[in-house]
């Protein structure tokens, strides 16, 4: 009887212990930065700016990033606070990340390895997009980025991650080289794993058509 109870307890707690051991993703909203908002703009420690993340320009891992500062054409990564860079301020809360694709490296990226929740169907994030491409990958595999909507100071994006649910994978967000399209700057914030599925493009198209037709119908009624 004791053996049966032990086996049942093991089956129940094993996934929980595994998750604790492997570790969930941390600091997805960039709010655990230890850089004070009063910090002068310029270089700061990457570890202090982006705890739990590693920061890369191309294949070179950075030990320093910029705070409330940006470059003109140079590939770089910055922490953006409430004071911001001109009109570019944190999207939500105290801090956001700015990835500048630039022209001096293949990309600017942030990376973190963690456990993708077992019920996760999508990953969503808020961003002020640049002119070029933002890549999102899990375990080295690119996932398609869908535009889901807009807010007062951001665009909401989402990716289908059902195939990775329950696995430990590296999450990477990277702004690609902007040599062809010009400045490719992506300010990103509020990354979340969600149990809500990202609709397929066809579904979004049907929803938009329905909304347009509904609007026309209402307009005709009023007319």
Q: What is the pTM of this model?
A: 0.80
pLDDT-derived band at 199, boundaries 50, 70, 90: confident
Residue 119 falls inside a structural domain: yes
- Select from 178, 128, 176, 131 the least CA-distant residue to 151: 128
Residue 49 falls inside a structural domain: yes
Residue 180 falls inside a structural domain: yes
Q: Which residue has the higher pLDDT, 105 or 8?
A: 105
Q: What is the pLDDT of residues 95-141, one digit of tens each?
A: 999 999 999 999 999 999 999 999 999 999 999 998 889 999 999 99
State how beta strands 122-128 and 107-115 pair.
Answer: unpaired
pLDDT surpassing 70 at residue 213: no
Residue 112 falls inside a structural domain: yes
- pLDDT on residue 131: 81
Residue 191 falls inside a structural domain: yes
Residue 36 falls inside a structural domain: yes
Instruction: Report the domain count for the chain.
Output: 1
> Rounded mean pLDDT of the chain?
84
Q: What is the DSSP string of 125-142?
A: EEEE--SS-EEEEETTEE
Residue 5 falls inside a structural domain: no
Residue 21 falls inside a structural domain: no
Q: What is the pLDDT of residues 129-188, one digit of tens each?
A: 988 899 999 999 999 999 999 999 999 999 999 999 999 999 999 999 988 667 799 999
The domain of 64 spans 26-215
CATH number at residue 203: 2.60.120.200
- pLDDT on residue 42: 98
């Amino acid at each position: 009887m004791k053996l049966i109870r032990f086996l049942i307890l093991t089956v129940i707690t094993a996934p929980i212990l595994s998750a604790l051991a492997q570790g969930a993703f941390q600091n997805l909203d960039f709010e655990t930065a230890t850089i004070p908002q009063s910090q002068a703009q310029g270089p700061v420690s990457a570890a202090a700016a982006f705890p739990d993340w590693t920061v890369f320009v191309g294949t070179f891992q950075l030990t320093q990033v910029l705070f409330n500062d940006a470059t003109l054409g140079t590939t770089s990564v910055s922490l953006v606070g409430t004071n911001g860079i001109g009109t570019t301020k944190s999207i939500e809360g105290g801090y956001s990340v700015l990835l500048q694709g630039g022209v001096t490296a293949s990309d600017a990226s942030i990376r973190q390895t963690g456990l993708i929740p077992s019920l996760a169907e999508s990953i969503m994030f808020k961003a002020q997009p640049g002119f070029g491409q933002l890549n999102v990958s899990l375990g080295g595999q690119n996932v398609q980025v869908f535009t889901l909507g807009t807010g007062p100071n951001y665009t909401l994006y989402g990716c289908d991650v059902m195939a990775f649910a329950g696995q430990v994978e590296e999450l990477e967000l990277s702004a690609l080289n902007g040599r062809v399209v010009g400045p490719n700057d992506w300010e990103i914030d509020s990354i979340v794993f969600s149990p809500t599925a990202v609709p397929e493009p066809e579904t979004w198209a049907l929803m938009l058509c329905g909304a347009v037709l509904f609007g026309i119908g209402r307009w005709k009624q009023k007319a």
